Structure 1
Amino acid sequence: MSSPPTVSDAPENRQWVTEADDYVCELPEETQAIALEELREDQDIRQSALASMREWIKQNPRIKNCRMDAKFLLRFLRFKKYHIPLAQEALERYLLLRQTFGVAFNCLDITIPMMEELTNLGYIFACPKRDKNGRRVIVTRPGVFDLDKFTNGDMCRIHGIAYETLMEDEENQIRGFVHFADGQGVGFAYLTLFTIKEAVRIVKNGEKSMASTFIHQ
């Protein structure tokens, strides 16, 4: 893994978006049981892991700005089943992805006209009901993406809006996602949206850092 750019700021000058440590798990008992069985998550492990992640972030000279609230950090801990070094690596990859593809994470406003139009077209959406395993189903319809109207930046941003929103839901962090893509209307012209290098980087770093369970259908 290539390291993110080193930040010269001294720790006391770095900025943390933080919340109190008094995290209270409000998940249904069924979901907590799944987290315990699949992720080894209980109150003691969760609090110990959160403390380790926060201390590591503060001491990491490569990280300048980072959220410190439990809900955000649990994304990565649950993603890696509380294997602390792997969760730390996933967080660094995520921050690097945000830095490299800032357009996917900046101005995540659904009221931006292009984002509103893509939403109304049904380019990407989460089904209102979960599957039989409780996973959220995400549907993507790339065929409605008009190449003459929208840019690859628009595509990155609408995906950023969708995934960043869904990953705030702890139920999704634990149960994961099913991804369904409707290929109707997709042609070779869509291959020009990203260079091969960009596409590989997005897929590779995205799957290894976005803390979501990818099940392609």
Structure 2
Amino acid sequence: MSDRKWVTEPDEYVCTLSEELQTMAEEELREDKHSRQTALASMREWIKQNPRIKNCRMDARFLLRFLRFKKFSVTLAQEALERYVLLRQTFGVAFNCLDITIPMMEDLTNRGYLFACPKRDSKGRRVIVARPGVFDLEEFTQGDMCRIHGIVYETLMEDEENQIRGFVHFADGQGVGFSYLTLFTIKEAVRIVKNGEVSK
């Protein structure tokens, strides 16, 4: 299985974090040079041996998302990554085309459905604002909703500072009604909440 081709190949991590972020990562996430190297090697070997993962990014920045989220518990990071991959496989039509220039995505962005504020909060975290009331059920589908969330979060999670500092979420519920409950089946909603949370 070691000869498989991956979305991105393993690379050597080069730390470009500020001293403040390195200190925060060490104190809050148990991350240092040794734990990072060891954990990345373990994650990559586990991915290669995992039959449920058909393809995956192997670059350090991507894998560190899960290690930092689980404070460098390799077992928990592996579980989180597997659930993330399975979610993307389940809703592949939406998650495999994360292009902000798609007209429907531009429309949702212009309406202010989901966006990150340009400035960080007092702790340096990005603030993500959701306005579900502007999501018109007559115009958009559940696939559109998955796709715009994928675009926003995948973009933000590429930034290592966001991986370390985390996010603050704010939702404006104005305009949301019972009809929104029909957008996803109960099974789909549970799967999204259970598996989608692992990458944020």
Q: Which amino acid aligns with 2:120?
A: R
From 172, 195, 201, the counterpart of 2:185: 195
Deviation at 1:14, TM superposition (A): 2.9
Partners of 1:67 and 1:56 in 2: CA distance: 13
Q: Is the 8 A contact 1:135 1:175 kept in 2?
A: yes
The equivalent residue for 2:171 is 181
Aligned residue pairs: how many?
A: 200
Say if 2:74 is the partner of 1:114: no
Q: Which residue does 1:145 correspond to in 2?
A: 135
Are the aligned partners of 2:128 and 2:168 in contact in 1 as well (CA < 8 Å)?
yes
| Residue of structure 1 in register with 2:14 after alignment | 24
User: Within 1, Cα distance between the matches of 2:167 and 2:3?
Assistant: 38
Deviation at 1:104, TM superposition (A): 3.3
* Structure 1 residue matching 2:121: 3-state secondary structure: coil
Counterpart amino acid of 1:183?
G
Counterpart in 2 of 1:5? none
Determine the structure 2 residue equivalent to 1:160.
150
Counterpart Cα distance in 1 of 2:137 and 2:118: 28
TM-score by length of 2: 0.96
TM-score (norm 1): 0.88
Question: What secondary structure sits across from 1:18 in the alignment?
Answer: coil
Amino acid at match of 2:137: L
Q: 1:74 is matched with which residue?
A: 64
Does the CA-based 8 Å contact 1:104-1:159 persist in structure 2?
A: no
CA RMSD across the alignment: 1.3
Q: Distance in 2 between matches of 1:20 and 1:160?
A: 23
CA contact (8 A) 2:127 2:170 kept: yes
Give the Cα separation in 1 of the matches to 2:81 and 2:16: 24
Could you list the runs of 5+ residues in structure 2 that have no partner in the other structure? none
Distance 1:154 1:78, change over 3 A: same
Q: Which amino acid aligns with 1:107?
A: C
Alpha carbons of structure 1 residues 193 and 88: separation in structure 2 relative to 1, 3 Å: same
Judge conservation of contact 1:127–1:139 (CA < 8 Å) in 2.
yes
The answer to whether the Cα contact below 8 Å between 2:10 and 2:58 also exists between their aligned partners in 1 is no
Unaligned runs of 5+ in 1: 1-10, 213-217
Q: Distance in 2 between matches of 1:151 and 1:18?
A: 30
Which of 70, 94, 97 does residue 104 from structure 1 map onto?
Answer: 94
Map of 1:33 onto structure 2: 23
Q: 1:195: Cα distance to partner?
A: 1.2
Q: Could you say which residue in structure 2 is the equivalent of 1:6?
A: none
Equivalent-residue separation in structure 1 for 2:10 and 2:52 (angstroms): 24
CA contact (8 A) 1:103 1:156 kept: no
Match of 1:93 in 2: 83
For residues 22 and 16 of structure 1, the distance between their equivalents in structure 2, rounded to whole angstroms, comes to 16
Distance, in Å, in 2 between the alignment partners of 1:75 and 1:191 is: 31
* Distance in 2 (alpha carbons) for counterparts of 1:164 and 1:62: 22
SS at match of 1:117: helix
Structure 1 moving runs of 4+ over 6 Å: none
